Chains A and B, each alone.
Chain A
């Protein structure tokens, strides 16, 4: 029951704020720890804790252990707004969040307003999973860093890898969830058409995680006669879509972004074989020592959103090495400036922050579901096998025009 200890720690901090000599760096995780999206939320929290444990094992920061406080946003942006205020009250310096772009949008706005109103007591937001383009577009700001990919990065990498493997074909179907992420993916699929040498035969946007029966959509896909289907769908929407396609006996290759969500492979079964995913990392790509080391600490190989989260904390750790507050007040702006200059080596290649919009330039790994995998997923014999690692410089896209970042000072 780490929670009880953490809460006890928090309350003692709140009570004895003046008694502390060295100021510890406090990281707040505002995630869905109850409600529908709990499973992803927990993975983010576990991964952050793992990264921070490493920092603390190496001596912590500012003369103290780095503290991690978990906040349950109950899966909604209202809860997130509320818990952000609590985090401010607890004196959190850095907020980490990943699941849901809507919640990230809320937090980045809250951080922006907080920093406007409280100069000198800024808060840094490290986004480890929210991929909406607007976060580095309309809403882009100096105190937000995105340590994950975005739709164009995933789609570009995926189409190029699938094309090389001969699985893309010339007729691509785009089916996505009707909200910013899905729309971003759809736009990216259209944008990549020329380079990928394909035609988008039809595009559909549908309700998010509300559809029980995807058979009608499969009928529509069938009518368009595509070679491959590219989708940014996640959770139920991906699972149901793939199952319905399998049941209809439709022979298409799927290019996905979230096929590695725990439970998906087991649930989809044989249907999943041969389909693709573009993600931040895969255990079969690059050096295996990272995966083994993580397994030794946590009991399982890194999966789903954990690697990108660990990399983000790793990059933060590297940035912290370059700043020194001599045990005094922590100035988050200095940490942010240091983070801008970090190049973090991951097993699949370097990650660096693009200063103009704080999107990370990072490699994208495209992998395919195979039988008898080296790292089996969900206790099945299937798993992912990397087919291509697209280096960061190739995967990245130009800074969005809408980004108007005000730098401190």
Chain B
């Protein structure tokens, strides 16, 4: 029953992904390409960090190398090599695999937090070395190429690029899914849960980890290659810690313990960036805040919470839960409003433009404009707004939390944000 429902759901998503984009604007088509690439990257990352429990803070290295390899192949095609343009991401896969084996060999010498630090440092090594290697990496300005036509496909429009990306992402996701079903996929989970036992069973833990690392790097390379195809360029900034950090954020906000969790995170964060990044200068702050809140209150991520509800809540339970949940959502919105209000107020009051206004007003604090209204820095209304929002939101949340707990008790099931789910990726000390 659930299986059937899942298959139908996936089929519906696929049909929508194929059928809808031609009717969307260029901006949305492009956003979808980014979403697809981010999703694949997060899934590849999660193979290592979620499934094998090896938390990597330097996956930008494999993503970036995949992009560079793909771009060199594109350049070769431009120079007359006959290679079908749609197969370009293979170069990214090959490079990701190669670098993954080497880097994985070093990184998996250690486990736990060491592993995390070593991956971080390897990515930094790439980031600091590559701008000096003019030949392959094109210095700090990078290298660029152009998608060449193949068999009547020009690959000039975003839509064509979108379908190419979609094809590769779906293919890779299917491969990654299939991987989890193989015995080696099971071994991956076992390595996370009990490495000692894996060793006693006669497996070479180090070799296995290197293989997992390399596979994860390979699919990261595919994602990087797809980005190279979409942007037609690659530059050492691909190795920056920012890229590595993004994929960590996306994966764990989405939920590392379930297969499609990282996709949830990648989709929501990429959309978030697309919609909000030009709207406020503080969007990185909001991103960090969301991440920390998810870590604190829903360690299994959005995906984990959703899955928990799908498993444990029957249809008639929803009637019971709907009220308290709506109340909780209201409280959440109020508090979010207060946080956004305060953040933007700080951004204005401590901003450069306001400093100029203070200087012009000779020391006194002038009124400022925010959210289409004018506010006095010492006005009662200015500070009453966030206080009221916070107090009301807080009160509602506390109340609804009690109600929700009661509801779950009544349903006779355990609460908790996926407390009974398989153990979160535990990094052994």
Chain A residues with a Cβ under 8 A of chain B: 1, 3-4, 6-7, 14, 33-35, 38, 42, 70-72, 74, 76-78, 81-82, 85-86, 88-90, 101-102, 105-106, 109-110, 113, 116-117, 132, 134, 178-180, 207-208, 210, 298-300
Contacts and interface: CB of A to CB of B under 8 A. Distances in A.
B203 interface: no
B356 A298 contact: yes
Contacts of A101: 140-141
Contacts of B132: 178
A78 B278 contact: no
B371 A1 contact: yes
Contacts of A3: 278-280
Contacts of A38: 281
B140 A180 contact: yes
Contacts of B235: 76-78, 102, 106
Interface string B20-62: 0000011100100010000000000000000000000000000
Interface in B331-358: 344, 352-353, 356-357
Contact of B356 (A116, A208, A299): A299
Nearest to A135: B141
A109 B231 CA distance: 10
B237 A33 contact: no
16 contacts: A1-B344, A1-B370, A70-B278, A76-B240, A82-B34, A86-B27, A86-B30, A89-B30, A102-B142, A117-B156, A132-B141, A178-B132, A180-B139, A207-B128, A208-B140, A300-B356
Contact of A72 (B34, B142, B238, B278): B278
> What secondary structure prevails in chain B residues at the interface with A?
helix
B40 to A, nearest CB: 16
A177 to B, nearest CB: 9
Given A1-B344, A71-B278, A132-B141, 10 more contacts: A4-B372, A14-B27, A34-B281, A78-B237, A78-B238, A82-B30, A82-B34, A86-B30, A89-B27, A102-B237
B34 to A, nearest CB: 7
A38 B285 CA distance: 15
B277 A72 contact: yes
A14 B278 CA distance: 16
A187 B281 CA distance: 38
A105 B242 contact: no
Contacts of A210: 128
A109 B237 CA distance: 17
A209 B360 CA distance: 35
Contacts of B25: 14, 89
A179 B140 contact: yes
Contacts of B371: 1, 4
Contacts of A88: 26
B237 A77 contact: yes
A88 B28 CA distance: 12
Nearest to B368: A1
Interface in B142-168: 142, 144, 146, 156, 158
B131 interface: yes
B344 to A, nearest CB: 8
Contacts of B27: 14, 85-86, 89-90
B83 interface: no
Nearest to B156: A117
B220 to A, nearest CB: 15
A207 B131 CA distance: 9
B279 to A, nearest CB: 6
B227 interface: yes
Given A81-B233, A208-B131, A299-B357, A106 B277 contact: no
B232 interface: yes
B186 interface: no
Contacts of A78: 227, 231, 235, 237-238, 243
B408 to A, nearest CB: 40
B284 interface: yes
A85 B144 contact: no
A378 B227 CA distance: 42
Nearest to A379: B359
Q: Could you say which of A7, A76, A298 has the most chain B C-beta atoms within 10 Å of its C-beta?
A: A76
Q: Which of A7, A81, A207 counts the most chain B CB atoms within 10 A?
A: A81
Closest 9 CB pairs of A and B: A89-B26, A299-B356, A89-B27, A105-B141, A179-B140, A81-B231, A76-B237, A85-B30, A109-B144
A20 to B, nearest CB: 16
A293 to B, nearest CB: 15
B165 to A, nearest CB: 13
A116 B78 CA distance: 15
Contact of A4 (B238, B279, B281, B356): B279
Most chain B CB atoms below 10 A, which of A6, A42, A132, A299: A299
Nearest to A2: B369
A207 B243 CA distance: 21
A366 to B, nearest CB: 27
A98 B32 CA distance: 28
A109 B232 contact: yes
A370 to B, nearest CB: 23
Nearest to B352: A42
Contacts of B344: 1
B295 to A, nearest CB: 22
A345 B156 CA distance: 41
B283 interface: yes
Q: Name, among B34, B132, B140, B235, the residue most crowded by chain A CB atoms within 10 Å (CB to CB).
A: B140
Contacts of A207: 128
A179 B356 CA distance: 35
A82 B283 CA distance: 17
B281 A102 contact: no
B349 to A, nearest CB: 13
B287 to A, nearest CB: 10
Contacts of B279: 3-4, 7
Nearest to A70: B278
Interface string B359-374: 1100000000111100
A311 B22 CA distance: 42
Most buried by A among B139, B238, B357: B139
A296 B128 CA distance: 44
Nearest to B144: A109
Contacts of A74: 242, 277
A86 B344 CA distance: 25
Q: Which among A71, A85, A132 has the greatest number of chain B C-beta atoms within 10 A?
A: A85
Contacts of A110: 232-233
B124 to A, nearest CB: 9
**Most A C-beta atoms less than 10 A away, residue of B233, B356, B359, B370:** B233
Contacts of A35: 242, 284
Nearest to B30: A85
A88 B231 CA distance: 14
Contacts of B281: 33-34, 38
Nearest to A76: B237
Contacts of B156: 117
Given A72-B278, A89-B25, A300-B356, A106 B140 contact: no
Contacts of B131: 178-179, 208
Contacts of A134: 141
A210 B125 CA distance: 12
Nearest to B232: A113
A78 to B, nearest CB: 6
Interface in B246-297: 277-281, 283-284
A298 B357 CA distance: 9
Contacts of B232: 81, 109-110, 113
